[in-house]
Amino acid sequence: MLGCYNLVFTRIKEQNPQLWKLGCACHMAHTCAQDAAKTLSVSAENIIIAIFYYFDKSCKRKEELKQFQEFCNVESRKILKHVSTRWLSLGKTFDRLLQQWPALKSYFSSKSQKEERVRMLKKSLSSPQCHLYCSFLQSVIPIFDKFNLLMQAEVPMVHAIHPAILNLARGLLGRFLKPVIVREARDILSVQYENPQNQKGDQDLYIGFYTKQYICSEEMQDNTECDWYLSQFYKDVHNFYSKAVSSVYEKLPALDETLKLLTIIDYKNRDTHTFDDLVSLLEMFPCLKKELNMVKLEEEFISYQVLDIDALVEGSKEDGSQVRMDTFWHKTGQIKNSGKNTFVLLPTVMKQLLVLPHSNTDCERMFSITRKNRTEARSELSNAVLKGLLATKVNMLSDCSCFEWKPSDSLIKKAKSA
């Protein structure tokens, strides 16, 4: 779709040279985490998937596992499913796996090893090395989840993409580079992170509190191969972070000039941006600049820079915390002086820029809802019925849960007469 050679984007670009390409930030961050995980010696993701499908659709195995959960004094919880294309599932599955580790280890140790899958899972769950890597991934995945959650917000966030990318890169660098290197870097994107002299020692790497506790545990220290495990582990941690940072720089649009200029939408950046920045941004979107009175727009921009916006900020907060930029600019457009609107062009331009999507999570949500309604058991579901279900889900049940929704009398009357 978004490649460089003879694909959809390049074909459209030929017809419209001013087209701006921005991939889904959620997909790209997920790919960065996957690329980094591939550098590890242990494929913890495959273990999670194998465990889930071993118990899936087998009531007998699930009941047997409950007995081992009771025996090991572990809370009886189901094994979560991880799908490689789901952005936020891996962190939760690692939490559940480590919680259920004693019960799962005992369960597979008691099983006959005739089946290859059972032998593999028994070996993995009995290996301190495997436990070590799972614990490490549990501690490092939240930094990617935090970025993904921000990019999955339903409010306009295109102005926050570039700062979020820099924060993700800075957070990763701080986990394996010496603090002074990150702190004194003029440009976070030019840090020499692959230089061993800039990296922390093995003992200072961020691997998570519980990972450090496990390294000091008797299970790990009593293992005859402990030293070799740790040597390989710390080497993999360095490689993991280096690959994660390189993937962030390569796959996420950290150098995109348009994204840098779009930060002008955020009121916090009004002192760092100039009107020339706004003009440069509008030149990238000629459809917005067309028929604009640039003299009037500059006057409004200067007035906006010196405006006391504390009341606007407070009135634009959602749930008392997050400031919605679309609400902020809507309220800015309502400011009046001598009965006339002070700002007309500037709020209009900013709200038009906020229309730019920051990810394709809305599309993914719709695909997910569609798959849950048109299943294998309901493969003959007509498009008309599916359309009605989707419309009901999106429009009528957006403000409440389905079991809390009450149809109006007029709707019931229409349904009965249909």
Q: Measuring CA to CA, which residue among 170, 357, 332 is closest to residue 262? A: 357
- Measured CA to CA in angstroms, residue 328 lies from 220, 264, 297, 303, 335 at distances of 54, 13, 18, 16, 11
Q: Measuring CA to CA, which residue among 78, 84, 76, 75 is closest to residue 49? A: 84
Give pairs for 314-320: CB < 8 Å, separation 24+: 318/155
The Cα 78–Cα 61 span in angstroms is 12
pLDDT tens per residue, the chain (418 residues)?
Answer: 555 566 777 888 788 877 888 888 888 888 899 999 999 999 888 899 999 999 998 999 999 999 999 999 999 888 888 877 665 678 889 999 999 999 999 999 988 878 888 999 999 999 999 999 999 999 999 999 999 988 888 889 999 999 999 999 999 999 999 999 999 988 998 999 999 999 999 999 999 999 999 999 988 988 888 999 999 999 999 999 999 999 999 999 988 999 999 999 999 999 999 999 999 999 988 888 888 899 999 999 999 999 888 877 777 776 657 788 998 999 999 998 888 889 999 999 999 999 988 887 777 778 888 888 888 888 888 888 888 888 877 776 566 777 777 888 888 888 888 7
**pTM of the complete model beyond 0.95:** no
Half-sphere exposure of 203 (CA within 13 A, CB side): 1
Contacts of 337 (CB under 8 A, 6+ apart): none
Chain segment 185-223, per-residue pLDDT in tens: 889 989 999 999 999 999 999 999 999 999 999 889 888
- Looking at the chain, the number of H-run helices and the number of E-run strands are 23, 4
Supply the pLDDT for residue 111: 85
Supply the pLDDT for residue 196: 93
Break the chain into its structural domains and give their ranges.
25-251, 262-353, 361-417
Are 244 and 236 within 8 A, CB to CB?
A: no
Supply the pLDDT for residue 153: 85
User: Is residue 202 helix, strand or coil?
Assistant: helix
Supply the pLDDT for residue 140: 94
Contacts of 138 (CB under 8 A, 6+ apart): 91, 94, 95, 98, 208, 210
Q: Measuring CA to CA, which residue among 245, 273, 252, 282 is closest to residue 358? A: 252
Give 337: exposed, middle or buried? Use CB within 10 Å, 0-12, 13-18, 19+.
exposed
The Cα 410–Cα 408 span in angstroms is 5
- Measured CA to CA in angstroms, residue 372 lies from 32, 209, 379 at distances of 28, 39, 11
Residue in this structure with the two tokens 């959620």, named with its chain if needed: 26
Half-sphere exposure of 196 (CA within 13 A, CB side): 2
Q: Measuring CA to CA, which residue among 121, 103, 102 is closest to residue 112? A: 121
The Cα 147–Cα 83 span in angstroms is 19
The Cα 72–Cα 102 span in angstroms is 7
The Cα 220–Cα 139 span in angstroms is 18
Contacts of 274 (CB under 8 A, 6+ apart): none
Rounded (10°) angle between helices 161-176 and 128-151: 160
Q: Which residues pair with 337 in a beta bridge?
A: 340
- Measured CA to CA in angstroms, residue 190 lies from 166, 250, 309 at distances of 12, 13, 35
**Token pair for residue 89?**
């599932």
**Token pair for residue 123?**
């070996």
Chain segment 37-92, per-residue pLDDT in tens: 999 999 888 899 999 999 998 999 999 999 999 999 999 888 888 877 665 678 88
Supply the pLDDT for residue 9: 76
- What length is written for the chain? 418
- Measured CA to CA in angstroms, residue 85 lies from 28, 139, 355 at distances of 11, 20, 26
The Cα 90–Cα 141 span in angstroms is 8
**Token pair for residue 299?**
């006057």
